[in-house]
Amino acid sequence: MKKVIIIGATSGIGRALAMHYINAGCRVGITGRRNALLESLRQESQQPGGTAYDNIFIECFDVTGNENTTHLQSLISKLGGLDLLIYNSGYGEPSPSLEWKIEKNTVDVNVNGFIEIVNWTFNFFVRQGHGHLAAISSVASNRGNSFAPAYSASKAFVSCYLEGLLLKATRLKIPVYVTDIQPGFVKTKDINLKGLFWVVPLEKAVRQMYLGIESKRFRVYVSRRWWLIAKLMKIVPRFIYSKIG
């Protein structure tokens, strides 16, 4: 039975991904800051059409804390191993006046929490001889952004680090797979996307993420047509990009 951990599963994308893996018959470990929401996910899996929650395990913690790897090891022990880890924890908020609190929170979650957990897990998979790492980055990783500078920069860090791990696994010649998921705009309850374009319904977005992960693709754009925006962002001259970025 496949053993999966989803870091950041209390709501939105993480919660929906957890339900996909639960319904696929996997042993699933879920994490988050709010224990009540993690417990509600366990209860939801007990509803008609759900699976028994004997295969759902909870570890409540904040990735900005000092015990990430301790909690991770605890969850792996509960699962009886680990085949796939998905890092979904993320923080993003517009920072028009470049507020330090917003910038710091963004880096603490999207960079520091990410690298500690993903670094430890990659080394775990190397010792184990196999495994799969996936993380939610963003199309925003492809260029700087004046509205949320730290967010775009932090997602660029995520994507670049994942590519480095993929190259490292290739050189080590071991079956450790890496997936960089780059969504555009996804409709979740926590985000106001009024007036934006190509907004992807949550279920459609998560289904594409799930299929991309399971096919072991390195980069997954959600929805698929967002790859065009990603490519254009890289080549548009700065004097044009500055009018929209």
pLDDT score of 14 more than 70: yes
- Higher-confidence residue: 224 or 126? 126
Which stretch of DSSP H or E encloses residue 93? none
pLDDT tens per residue across span 149-189:
999 999 999 999 999 999 999 999 999 999 999 998 787 76
Question: Rounded to an integer, what distance in angstroms lies between the CA atom of residue 244 and that of residue 140?
Answer: 13
Give residue 233's pLDDT. 65
pLDDT score of 244 more than 70: no
Residue ranges of domains in the chain, CATH in brackets? 3-241 (3.40.50.720)
Least confident among 84-93, 181-190, 214-223, 235-244: 235-244
Indicate the angle between helix axes 114-128 and 68-79, nearest 10 degrees. 40
Task: List C-alpha distances in Å: 89 to 22, 33, 213.
Answer: 19, 10, 17
Instruction: Please name which of 172, 159, 27 lies closest in space to residue 85, comparing C-alpha atoms.
Output: 27
- Higher-confidence residue: 114 or 187? 114
How many degrees, rounded to 5, is the angle at CA 80 between CA 75 and CA 84? 70
pLDDT tens per residue across span 186-224:
877 665 556 566 788 899 999 999 999 999 999 999 978
Bridge-based pairing of strands 176-183 and 186-187 is unpaired
- Where does 93-166 show beta strands of DSSP type E? 131-136
Question: Rounded to an integer, what distance in angstroms lies between the CA atom of residue 227 and that of residue 232?
Answer: 9
pTM for this model (two decimals): 0.91
Task: List C-alpha distances in Å: 217 to 101, 210, 222, 238.
Answer: 35, 11, 13, 31
Percent of the chain with pLDDT over 70: 86
- Determine if residue 96 is left, alpha or beta; phi over 0 gives left, psi from -120 to 50 gives alpha, anything else beta: alpha
